[in-house]
Structure 1
Amino acid sequence: MFEYLNKIKAHLDDIVQDQEACINIAADWIAQTLIDDQLIHTFGTGHSHMIGLELFVRAGGLANVNAMLDSIVMTSEGSRRSAEIERIEGISDIIWDQHTIDPEDLMIVISNSGRNAMPIEMAMRARAEGLKVIAITSLQQSKKYPSRHSSGKKLFEIADIVLDNHVPPGDGLMRIDGNLTGPVSSIAGMMLINLIATEGMKKAAASNVRLPVYHSQNIDGFSNDELYALFAHRIKHL
């Protein structure tokens, strides 16, 4: 059997076994957004933005998700450039102000290190505006290194609920020829975000809520037009 596959399977099991209570609370909060017709906002920089994007406008995904995408923090505009920008204070407020966000909405901030300014300030702004904040981060990585924000705080110290991805410093599960490799943060984050989303959907469905779920656009006989019309005025990138 392949080493990476074995390590990934064991890693994902460890995450869930260690955090069942937090996972259930996060799922409850997602269910409540569905019951109350509120939005789930996701934010991450660099590779972490892909974890938030995983929930956004996809087959089988929820329509009440607003991924706070911005080219300045995505690697498509230059990987080194985005890495520098995510350390600059004040930019998160600019991005925030371009979105429609209600105090009863839910915010999910993803940052493996949890030490850079942008995810920290996005969580701070969300808390200040009254939103509940879920963080997906590595506690082991975050606690090992100092914050890069003037407050001295890290993401896990700001969020209401922390989902620890258990990723070791350096984001690798294997060593090959002396090199740390076998990245795990993306897979761990996507598992966690889909786990809390699907569990939240089950809880909301049990309350007789009609789930706003997208169908694949590549399967005949289905249309997402009704959902697009319902959320287009509330979600910037729809």
Structure 2
Amino acid sequence: MSEEPRGGSELAGRFFDAAIGLLRRVRDEEPESITAAGTLIADTVASGGRLFAFGAGHSSLAAQDVVYRAGGLALMNLLAVPGVVGVDVMPATLGSALERVEGLAGAVLDTSPLRSGDLLVVISLSGRNALPVELAMNARALGVKVIGVTSVAYASETTSRHASGTYLKDHCDVVLDTKIAVGDAELGLDGVPAPFAPASTVVTTALLQAVMATATGVLADRGIEPPLLRSGNVDGGHEWNDRILREYGDRIFYRQA
């Protein structure tokens, strides 16, 4: 029989407890912001606007989770910045470097389909780097509504990396606070010099799905059928999705015309 790893199941249990605790905090402390964000998304859908989500590095995982997703709104598009979206770029450190480049956000928005009346979700754990700050700032100047998903704690415990000295949270119509501690590592262990076990992806993804559920409910309450996708792995799913994609094709950018 193999020897139980150091820390054993205790560490797994501690991580689950930490993640559950953060989820409870978000549920209990962010209901007004979740409602406001969901309502803003519903308003955009109802008025003919388009939805976009952006995240750099691992923050992109939460953005991707709400795009072309079974049970999700078909109108959510990924605002992708080459070299920044994930760790598939080589070297992976390039993505972190690009996120700190001032002026990049302007080029991204100038070549994107975003326009006045649309909505952009900007996800950045720290909210301190130039790219998410400028995306939010410049998008609002274009008449785009911005929902920021970030850990507000970073604004009081770190220094902004943007020339303005501001953070993502300072340039949003609605801010969703993930409650993640600075450093994004929930566990420590004697003899291990660095903290470990990040929970930001778990919490941010759940938070955004709560917002999408809220938006769906708001649309239904207004008598508007939410443009939802179904799983392609259930009978009739592909036919359902084909109808939705055709009906809203002018507001969807993740498929060819």
**Is the shorter-chain TM-score for this pair beyond 0.5, marking a shared fold?**
yes
Matched, 1:147 2:160: yes
Aligned length: 238
Inter-partner Cα distance in structure 1 for 2:112 and 2:247: 16
Classify the secondary structure of the residue corresponding to 2:247. helix
Larger deviation: 104-113 or 94-103? 94-103
What is aligned with 2:218? 203
Equivalences for residues 69-148 of structure 1 within 5 A: 69-74=80-85, 75-78=87-90, 79-148=92-161
What is aligned with 1:64? 75
Inter-partner Cα distance in structure 2 for 1:235 and 1:122: 20
Aligned with residue 191 of structure 1, among 202, 206, 212? 206
Classify the secondary structure of the residue corresponding to 2:77. strand
Q: Percent identity?
A: 30
- For normalisation by structure 1, the TM-score amounts to 0.94
Matched, 1:182 2:194: no
Provide structure 1 residue ranges, at least 5 long, that are not aligned to the other structure: none
Inter-partner Cα distance in structure 1 for 2:174 and 2:111: 25
- For normalisation by structure 2, the TM-score amounts to 0.87
Aligned with residue 46 of structure 2, among 20, 35, 51? 35
Letter in 1 for 2:196: T
Checking the alignment, whether the CA contact within 8 Å between 2:49 and 2:251 is kept in structure 1 is no
What stretches of structure 1 move > 6 A for 4+ residues in a row?
Answer: none
Checking the alignment, whether the CA contact within 8 Å between 2:55 and 2:63 is kept in structure 1 is yes
What is aligned with 2:178? 165
How far residue 85 of structure 1 moved from its aligned partner, in angstroms, is: 0.7
Larger deviation: 127-136 or 28-37? 28-37
Q: CA RMSD for the aligned pairs?
A: 1.5
1:12-52 CA-to-partner distances (Å, cap 9, x unmatched) read 10112112111111111112123223222111111111111
Matched, 1:227 2:244: yes
Larger Rg: 2
Checking the alignment, whether the CA contact within 8 Å between 2:74 and 2:252 is kept in structure 1 is no
